[in-house]
Structure 1
Amino acid sequence: MSEAFQRRLSLGATYDPTGTTFRFWAPAHPEVRLEIEGRDPKLMKPAADGWFELTLDAPAGARYRYHLPNGLTVPDPASRFQDGDVHGWSVLVDPRAYVWRTPEWPGRPWREAVIYELHVGCFGGFAGVKRALPLLAKLGVTAIQLMPIADFPGERNWGYDGVLPYALDAAYGTPEELKDLVDSAHELNLMIMLDVVYNHFGPDGNYIGAYAPPVFRDDVETPWGGAIDFRLPEVRAYFTENVLYWLVEYRFDGLRFDAVHAISESDWIDEMAAAVRAVEASEGRQIHLVLENERNEESHLAGDVDAQWNDDFHHVIHVLLTGEREGYYADYAEDTAGKLARAFADGFVYQGEMSPNLGEPRGTNSGHLPPYAFVSFLQNHDQIGNRAFGDRLTSLAPPAGVEAATAALLLSPQIPMIFMGEEVASETPFLFFTDHEEPLAQAVRDGRRKEFAKFAAFAGAEIPDPNAISTFEASIPEPHPTRAEARTALFQKLLAVRAAEISSRTALPDVAAEAIGPKAAKATWRFEDGARLTLATNLADQTIDVAPVEGPVLFESPTGAADRLRAGALPGFSTVAILEPAA
Structure 2
Amino acid sequence: MTENRFTHSMPFGAQPQAGGSVRFRLWAPGVAEMTLEIDGSTRLPMVREEDGWFTLATHEAAAGSAYRFILPDGLAVPDPVSRWQPDGVHGPSRVVDPASYAWTASAWRGRPWHETVLYELHVGTFTPEGTYRAAIERLDHLAAAGITAVELMPLAECPGGRNWGYDGVQLFAPRSAYGTPDDLKALIDAAHGRGLMVFLDVVYNHFGPDGNYLHAYAPGFFTERHKTPWGAAINFDGAHARPVRDFMIHNALYWLEEYRIDGLRLDAVHAIIDDSSPHILEELARRVRDRVGRDRHVHLVLENEHNAARLLSRDGGEPRFHTAQWNDDYHHAAHVLATGESGGYYSDFAADPIAGLCRALAEGFIYQGGPSALRGGERRGEVSRHLPPPAFVNFLQNHDQIGNRAFGERLTVLAPPDRVEALLTITLLAPSIPLLFMGEEWGETNPFAFFTDFDGDLAGAVREGRRREFAAFPEFADPERRARIPDPNAAETAVRSRIDWGKVTQEPFASRLALVRRLLRLRAERIVPLLPGAGGGEVLWREGAGFSIAWTLAGGARLTLAAHLGDGAVTPPALPPGEVLVGGKAIGRLSGWTARWFLQS
Q: Which TM bucket (shorter chain)?
A: over 0.9
Q: Counterparts in 2 of 1:322-361, with a 5 A limit?
A: 322-359=339-376, 360-361=378-379
Residue 272 (structure 1) aligned with residue 284 (structure 2): yes
8 Å contact kept, 1:497–1:554: no
Distance 1:574 1:84, change over 3 A: same
Give matches, 1:457-496, under 5 Å: 457-460=475-478, 461=481, 462-478=484-500, 479=503, 482-496=507-521
SS in 2 for 1:509: coil
Q: CA deviation at 1:186?
A: 0.6
Aligned to 1:40: 42
Say if 1:352 and 1:365, in contact at 8 Å, map to a contact too: yes
Q: Is the 8 A contact 1:340 1:521 kept in 2?
A: no
Aligned residue type for 2:590: L
Residue 308 of structure 1, aligned match among 316, 325, 343: 325
Shift of 1:281: 4.4
Match of 2:317 in 1: none
| Equivalent AA in structure 2 for residue 243 of structure 1 | A
Structure 1 residue 555: Cα displacement = 3.2
Instruction: Give the TM-score normalised by structure 1.
Output: 0.96
Trace 1:29-428 onto structure 2 (pairs within 5 A). Answer: 29-57=31-59, 58-123=61-126, 124-231=130-237, 232-265=241-274, 267-282=279-294, 284-302=295-313, 303-359=320-376, 360-428=378-446
Classify the secondary structure of the residue corresponding to 1:83: coil
Supply the distance in 1 between the matched residues of 2:419 and 2:533 (Cα, whole angstroms). 27
Deviations 1:318-370 (A, max 9, x none): 01111111111111112221111110111100000001111200000001101
SS across alignment from 2:450: coil
Contact residue 33 and residue 43 of structure 1 kept, 8 A: yes
Residue in 2 aligned with 1:431? 449
> Which whole-Å CA distance do the structure 2 matches of 1:89 and 1:20 have between them?
16
Look up the equivalent residue of 2:467 and give its one-letter code.
R
User: Quick one: structure 1 residues 510 and 445, their matched pair in 2 at CA, closer, same or farther if it must change by over 3 Å?
Assistant: closer
Q: CA deviation at 1:68?
A: 0.1
Which residue is 1:512 aligned to?
A: 538
Kindly provide the CA deviation profile for residues 427-465 of structure 1, in whole angstroms up to 9, marking residues without a partner as x. Answer: 111100001011110000000000001101122312110
Within 1, Cα distance between the matches of 2:567 and 2:82? 54
CA RMSD between the two structures: 1.3
Runs (4+) off by over 3 Å: 550-555
Aligned to 2:236, what secondary structure does the other structure show? coil
Q: Confirm or deny: 8 A CA contact 2:21 2:62 kept in the other structure.
A: no
Asked if the contact 2:370/2:380 (under 8 Å) is kept, the reply is yes
Shift of 1:538: 1.8
Q: Distance in 2 between matches of 1:545 and 1:369?
A: 31
In structure 2, the partner of 1:575 is 595
Gaps of 5+ in 1: none
1:218 aligned counterpart, secondary structure: strand
Code of the aligned partner of 1:11: F
Q: Do 1:75 and 1:89's aligned partners in 2 also have CA atoms closer than 8 Å?
A: yes
Q: Partner amino acid for 1:19?
A: S
Asked if the contact 1:341/1:515 (under 8 Å) is kept, the reply is: no
> Aligned residue for 2:568?
542
Q: CA deviation at 1:96?
A: 0.1
Q: What is the rounded CA distance, in whole Å, between the counterparts of 1:554 and 1:5 in structure 2?
A: 47
Deviation, structure 1 residue 298: 0.8
Quickly say closer, same or farther: Cα 1:21–1:499, change in 2 above 3 A. Answer: same
Alpha carbons 2:159, 2:210 under 8 Å: kept = yes
The amino acid that maps onto 1:457 is E
Counterpart of 1:328 in structure 2: which amino acid? Y
| 8 Å CA contact 1:344, 1:513 repeated in 2 | no
Q: Is the counterpart of residue 497 in structure 1 residue 522 in structure 2? A: yes
Between stretches 536-545 and 286-295, larger displacement belongs to: 536-545
Which stretch of structure 1 is more off in the superposition, 337-346 or 505-514? 505-514
Distance 2:55 2:447 in 1: 48
Matched, 1:2 2:15: no
Deviates more, 1:506-515 or 1:245-254: 506-515
TM-score normalised by the chain length of structure 2: 0.94
Q: Secondary structure in 2 aligned to 1:154?
A: coil
- Kindly indicate whether the alpha-carbon contact (under 8 Å) linking 1:338 and 1:515 is maintained by their aligned counterparts in 2: no
Distance 1:398 1:281, change over 3 A: closer
Mapped partners of 1:137, 1:482: distance in 2 = 21
Q: Which amino acid in the other structure matches residue 516 of structure 2?
A: F
Percent identity between the aligned chains? 49
- Check whether the contact 2:560–2:576 (CA below 8 A) recurs between aligned residues: no
Contact kept in structure 1, 2:257 and 2:292, CA below 8 Å: no
Q: In structure 1, how many angstroms separate the alpha carbons of the residues matched to 2:431 and 2:111?
A: 16
CA deviation after TM superposition for structure 1 residue 537, in Å: 2.1
Q: CA deviation at 1:223?
A: 1.3
How far the C-alpha of 1:406 sits from its partner, in A, is 0.2
Q: CA deviation at 1:225?
A: 2.3
Query: Residue 554 of structure 1: CA displacement?
Result: 3.9
Q: Deviations over 1:245-281 (max 9, x none)?
A: 0000000000000000001117111100001111234
CA distance in 1, matches of 2:108, 2:464: 47
Indicate how the Cα distance of structure 1 residues 281 and 146 shifts in structure 2: closer, same or farther if over 3 A, else same. closer
Letter in 2 for 1:98: Y
